Structure 1
Amino acid sequence: MKTKDDNILNDDCISISSLSEYTDAITSIRNNIIEDGKSETLFFRGQSNKSWDIRPSIFRDGLISVEHKIIQTATARVPQEFRECSSAFEELTKLQHYGLPTRLLDITMNPLVALYFACLPTSKVNDKEGNDVYPDGIVYICTGYEEHEKSYKAQILSEITKIGFDGNFTLKDLRTRLGVNKDIDPESFIKLIQDTIFVMPSYSNSRLIRQSGAFLISGAINVMTNEHDLWNSKVSKSVKNLNQEVDKKHIIIPQDSKEKLLDELDFFNINESTLFPELEHQMSHIKKVGARWVTTESPSFVKYESETNVSHPVSDNSTKKIDENEVTKIFLKFSIPKLYRPELLKIILDIQQYPDWNYKENTYNELIKNLKHVIKDFDKNKSKTLAEQIANKLISISK
């Protein structure tokens, strides 16, 4: 029988294969924090591949060098979307929500939400033996004291994203651009702009609410120290891996346990539909649920054909040829003057050169247009009505 100790890989790493094992592990970590008398908040981040580093999207592909341009372009393109944002941090969360690369890293206060993301399917990777395998997932656990999005630190780190640093940009220049009090000493300012903090958002969108979302934001500003005048030290934006901020405790999700865990989470109403309120995610979840309802293979379509149709096949689009006598009867029915009948008859006979003319909207419209052009010479007010009546009568006797 498997015991709880069998799951422990080391003091900071546990492997689980069921929801009960996962909740036991989380509860144990929480109890340890309480016993230590700490008041820090527990945060979680789930990743479907345990080998991925923990890096905000703006810290990838060299995007940090154009961070300010990306944000300025986005907010200028749709300014009405950002007018109601009450803080620079809220602007960032909105940009992040719609897929723009930012220096925000998504985390959650709900361990079940983190587990959901850790269990999502992902592409195969090469293992140590060179085989293509699906990777294990991971839930990172960390503790920290959260800041509100309108806190001083959160505002400073958010405003940095809007500033472009040229080659001669100094610590003093940055302080001026940020509007920081001149009484601050340079070392305290450096600590501020290099800090990484947990931020509680204002829950301005329903996805954040459903996912109990929070964020990590990092300054990641390099300082090239000027020994003679620290304020004249040059500064630059850099990229940063946040593993050290969140990997103090982590739980491994074996690949072969992911599907089972997703099913258990679904029972507790943790799924794509509840975590993502957008319509496309609602439909995606329904599609997945529908696939689980299928119990038998659906038969292929076979069109019904009667004995008559089998023995004497007739084209669906077969058209009866209308002779001059039938057309003359139509002219009489609608009181078409003799003077105009030959020209109208020619139009009708010409349109029948197309074998399926009576099934096509474009030929039908062309017929009405040509008939109307002739009829308006003797009855302008009723030309359209007469043209449609003649065309419809022709179609009715041609099928």
Structure 2
Amino acid sequence: MTKGVDEVLFYRGHSNREKYKLSPAVFRTDEEREAEPTMFRELLISNAPDFRDDHSTFEKLVRMQHYSLPTRLLDISTNPLIALYFACKSSTDKSGEVIRFAIKQNEMKFFDSDTVSCIANLAQLSQSDKQAISFGGSNEQFNGQDPIRKLLHFIKEEKPYFRDAIVPSDLKRIVCVRGKLNNTRILSQSGAFLIFGLDASLPETGNTDIKIERMTISAGSKKKIIQELDTLALNESTIFPYIENSARYIAAKYRPT
């Protein structure tokens, strides 16, 4: 697959190519889908100070993602070596893979996009409300439904100017989003995200908006690749830039094998 002149490339690494799929964590079980709004609120309540600088639901979801809460985000990176690191860092007895995504430039969104706000705030709707949304009828009828009125309320909490005019098809999209580089982990991992709309799924072979190409990483090559990446300053200390990770990485270098 060659890169088109109007396309942007992103990458993702899977340490076990047979196990991991292109699905956000919150979509992987019915229980997590059901619990999405509850998990969202519980983490905000229990760790409120950590979210005080996040002004949108998307920004909150990004922080939750990196605290390992299941969300409707899927991490991707502009740096193929970051993806290679994740493909090799675990499951040393399994083949990994690096996945390349080619996304049209005009389909890219930024953190403050209205479309992103519409999709991100689905995280606050109950599963019963999500299931009650009807996509028939006119746009006016769509925006008059009770579940959509609730969704509009959440959107207007971050964007008071937002009109009652959600585009129905937007809620079912998968959108590539460039976030703020105000999170050290996002910055160190050259991070971006795919955000998944209502019951959205990404075929493992890609779709018309997101082209996909895969490269297998053999289990036997993982250790050597990790060592080579370390010479490029790509290791646990730099990719997960927190003091406890730096300490663990430094200690491991001097621990007898």
TM category, shorter: 0.7 to 0.9
Return the structure number with greater relative CO, CA threshold 8 A, min gap 6.
Answer: 2
Given the alignment of the two structures, is residue 46 of structure 1 paired with residue 13 of structure 2, yes or no? Answer: yes
Distance in structure 2 (CA, Å) of the matches to 1:176 and 1:41: 35
Aligned 1:10-29 pairs, distance under 5 A: none
- Matched residue, 2:223: 259
3-state SS of 2:75 partner: strand
* Cα distance change on mapping 1:278 and 1:183 into 2, 3 Å: closer
The residue type equivalent to 1:284 in the other structure is R
Given that 2:33 and 2:127 are in contact with CA atoms closer than 8 Å, whether structure 1 keeps it comes out as no
Greater C-alpha radius of gyration: 1
Listed as ranges, the gaps of 5+ residues in structure 2 are: 135-144, 153-161
For residues 194-232 of structure 1, what are the alpha-carbon distances to aligned partners after superposition, in whole Å with 9 as ceiling and x for unaligned? 00011111022111100001111111x2xxxxxxxxxxx
- Between the aligned partners of 2:223 and 2:178, the Cα distance in structure 1 is 31
Q: 1:195-344, aligned counterparts within 5 Å?
A: 195-219=173-197, 221=198, 238=199, 240=201, 243-245=204-206, 248-291=212-255
State, as a whole percentage, how many aligned pairs show the same letter.
31
Contact 1:122 1:135 in 2 (8 A): yes
3-state SS of the aligned residue for 1:161? Answer: helix
Q: Tell me if 1:137 matches 2:110.
A: no
Q: C-alpha offsets along residues 331-351 of structure 1, whole Å, 9 cap, x if unaligned?
A: xxxxxxxxxxxxxxxxxxxxx
User: 1:208, 1:182 → 2: CA distance?
Assistant: 33
- Deviation track 1:291-325 (CA, whole Å, cap 9, x = no partner) reads 4xx59xxxxxxxxxxxxxxxxxxxxxxxxxxxxxx
Map of 2:28 onto structure 1: 60
The answer as to whether partners of 2:24 and 2:196 remain within 8 angstroms in 1 is no
* 8 Å contact from structure 2 (residues 176, 194) kept in 1: yes
Is 1:118 the counterpart of 2:50 in the alignment? no
TM-score normalised by length of structure 2: 0.81
Distance 1:106 1:82 in 2: 19
User: Secondary structure, in 3 states, of the residue corresponding to 1:45?
Assistant: strand
1:78 CA displacement:
2.6
Give 1:260 shift: 1.1
Q: CA deviation at 1:66?
A: 1.6
Question: Residue 97 of structure 1 aligns with which residue?
Answer: 66
> Contact 1:59/1:240 (CA < 8 Å) preserved in 2?
no
- Aligned-pair CA distance for 1:115: 0.4
Q: Is residue 82 of structure 1 aligned with residue 51 of structure 2? A: yes
Question: Could you tell me which residue of structure 2 aligns to residue 150 of structure 1?
Answer: 112
Letter of the 2:10 counterpart: F
Corresponding pairs, count: 229
Q: Which runs of 5+ in 1 are unaligned?
A: 1-28, 124-133, 222-237, 296-399
How far does residue 166 in structure 1 lie from its aligned partner after superposition?
2.4
Asked if 1:173 corresponds to 2:141, the answer is no
